[in-house]
Chain A
């Protein structure tokens, strides 16, 4: 199980310090496309609530199960709710939930990964073994089990994303830290009397930021996939709130007669995940990070 290892990443200067003369992802048209898409999605997620699209929860905004038309761009659902504002809410929820989970994941795993590299012995052993055990659960199965225990809803989805994305990120951060922790400037800092906190934050963190950011991007796409998968099974977000996955879940019954209820949120979800993945690829190449992997 430890065979999925992360090879040491570049240990050059931190990416933020490098002067960039050209636009992001130079010569990488696909990643640029992904970045544009992602920015679009994020703008909708942040400002969509103020767009004059109507109330996402207002029933009977039009006839039930109406096909997309000039007035109702995305049609209506089984309660006659306009789908367009629900899509906007879905985009916001999907990014918000997965984004929050990934921030928690990143904070926890970066700390644990650096500790596993800095403190050898029992601490390192406990952290890496713990990651191995979590890794031994098939991802969606763990999420379903958690949903059963915590109950369906956002908290369960959030915890599962953190538990599923952390092991890989801990490994990546640990591998990157291991290649730095024995270098002269770290030893010099230790000799100079710097404590563990200072060494981790000031000396290790900037040097592992690249791989961590790339891995966090992939974790975001995995988180979005997990949340939507859970919601599709009815174990994620509960009505009346909506994520892109729960919209597909609600529409699935009407697939033969009102396919747009499934296909529109499904396409948006695919595009959103693809945008995140493409940006991840672009970041990986731009920061020259090797050995970071996707798991789903």
Chain B
């Protein structure tokens, strides 16, 4: 029964993800096409004479029913063609490929920092019993949860540029050019983005560890004479992993928004900056392509998290929960 139950769980998640992605694509497309001053108006904007307008409408396929335009767009997206920038005439996918490494590195570094520092800290906080220690961790945690990334980033920019503390502020160096300089230029942006994630992981992990430790099967294991380290490894980590995985998926969604702010603040030439530029420049072809990709990535991450729950916790796979 376990394999079929597991298969059904994974397949169900996959279908939900696909349906969500479809609805998102419809929403993005209609938003960009139906709003006054949207895609068609930008394309036809410079044309004054009716003849030129007609020619442009035919060229961009705007004279056809909206449903067909949508299907055409989806067909192109499925073959890897995200459209052409209305500003520069460059294919959106080319721009995406050029900028993706920057954003991926930023997100990867932030996530790594969050997990590598967050999980041990969460264990430590969950196992500690002192009143002072808990109060302190709550105070630090809630400040880290509450500080907006642009405030934290601005503070770091100010401190590191005013007192020259050894890390460069702004000025992106490609990884291929000089790996060390690249890491140094990414350190502050990644730190800015990871603080919220750290707070999230520590807060959730601490509560999960504390809750697991107070459950009867831990007391039973300890009473049997198992060592505390062994109990932590065998019983606590696995049970506490689920909520932490959940907040990591949430954090991935936050990273996408946070990247817009951090890439803007530290002038990193990433995808998020391109989205912002496209919106400010009313380049709706780029907007719809990049937002769709971002939503797809986010949905994929959530799917991965759902799969990870299934792997970590057999009860979920078998459909006993939710």
A interface residue numbers (CB < 8 A to B) = 1-5, 29-30, 129, 132-133, 136-141, 143-145, 147-149, 221, 225, 228-229, 232-235, 245, 248, 252, 255-256, 259, 262-263, 266-267, 269-271, 273-274, 277-278, 281, 293-296
A233 and B257 contact, CB distance less than 8 A:
no
B151 and A269 contact, CB distance less than 8 A:
yes
In the complex, chain B residues whose CB is within 8 Å of the CB of A278:
142
Q: Is the interface of A mostly helix, strand, loop or mixed?
A: helix
A223 CA to B274 CA, complexed, in Å: 25
Contact of A296 among B158, B196, B264, B282 (CB under 8 A): B196
A294 CA to B147 CA, complexed, in Å: 14
Nearest Cβ on chain A to B298's Cβ, whole angstroms = 5
A256 and B161 contact, CB distance less than 8 A:
yes
Q: Which of B32, B38, B146: most chain A Cβ within 10 A?
A: B146
Contact of A3 among B19, B295, B309 (CB under 8 A): B309
| Chain B: interface residue total (CB-CB under 8 A) | 62
B291 and A145 contact, CB distance less than 8 A:
yes
In the complex, chain B residues whose CB is within 8 Å of the CB of A30:
135, 138-139, 142
A281 CA to B20 CA, complexed, in Å: 32
- Given that A3-B246, A138-B254, A138-B298 are contacting pairs, would A270 and B146 also be in contact in the complex, using a CB cutoff of 8 Å? yes
The stretch from B23-31, B58-66, B81-89, B186-194 touching chain A is: B23-31
A133 CA to B22 CA, complexed, in Å: 10
In the complex, chain B residues whose CB is within 8 Å of the CB of A293:
247, 250
- Given that A136-B298, A256-B162 are contacting pairs, would A266 and B20 also be in contact in the complex, using a CB cutoff of 8 Å? no
A262 CA to B295 CA, complexed, in Å: 32
B260 and A274 contact, CB distance less than 8 A:
no
B142 and A263 contact, CB distance less than 8 A:
no
B interface residue numbers (CB < 8 A to A) = 16-17, 19-21, 23-24, 27-28, 31-32, 35, 38, 135, 138-139, 142-143, 145-151, 154-155, 157-158, 161-162, 196, 200, 246-247, 249-250, 253-254, 256-258, 260-261, 264, 275-276, 279-280, 282, 287, 291, 294-295, 298-299, 302-303, 305-306, 309, 322
B146 and A221 contact, CB distance less than 8 A:
yes
Nearest Cβ on chain B to A191's Cβ, whole angstroms = 30
- Given that A137-B24, A228-B148 are contacting pairs, would A149 and B257 also be in contact in the complex, using a CB cutoff of 8 Å? no
A148 and B20 contact, CB distance less than 8 A:
no
Nearest Cβ on chain A to B203's Cβ, whole angstroms = 9
Nearest Cβ on chain B to A265's Cβ, whole angstroms = 8
- In the complex, besides A3-B322, A30-B142, A255-B157, 9 extra interface pairs with C-beta distance below 8 angstroms are A1-B302, A29-B135, A140-B260, A266-B155, A274-B142, A274-B143, A274-B146, A295-B253, A296-B254
Nearest Cβ on chain B to A135's Cβ, whole angstroms = 8
A248 and B151 contact, CB distance less than 8 A:
yes
A148 and B157 contact, CB distance less than 8 A:
no
In the complex, chain A residues whose CB is within 8 Å of the CB of B309:
3
- Given that A1-B20, A3-B305, A270-B143 are contacting pairs, would A140 and B256 also be in contact in the complex, using a CB cutoff of 8 Å? yes
B157 and A5 contact, CB distance less than 8 A:
no
- Given that A4-B246, A30-B135, A233-B276 are contacting pairs, would A141 and B291 also be in contact in the complex, using a CB cutoff of 8 Å? yes
Nearest Cβ on chain A to B320's Cβ, whole angstroms = 13
In the complex, chain B residues whose CB is within 8 Å of the CB of A281:
138, 142
A147 CA to B295 CA, complexed, in Å: 17
Nearest Cβ on chain A to B60's Cβ, whole angstroms = 20
- Given that A3-B246, A232-B261 are contacting pairs, would A144 and B24 also be in contact in the complex, using a CB cutoff of 8 Å? no
Q: Which of B150, B254, B260: most chain A Cβ within 10 A?
A: B150
A153 CA to B239 CA, complexed, in Å: 45
Nearest Cβ on chain B to A137's Cβ, whole angstroms = 6
- Given that A3-B309, A141-B260, A147-B279 are contacting pairs, would A136 and B24 also be in contact in the complex, using a CB cutoff of 8 Å? yes
In the complex, chain B residues whose CB is within 8 Å of the CB of A133:
20, 23-24, 27
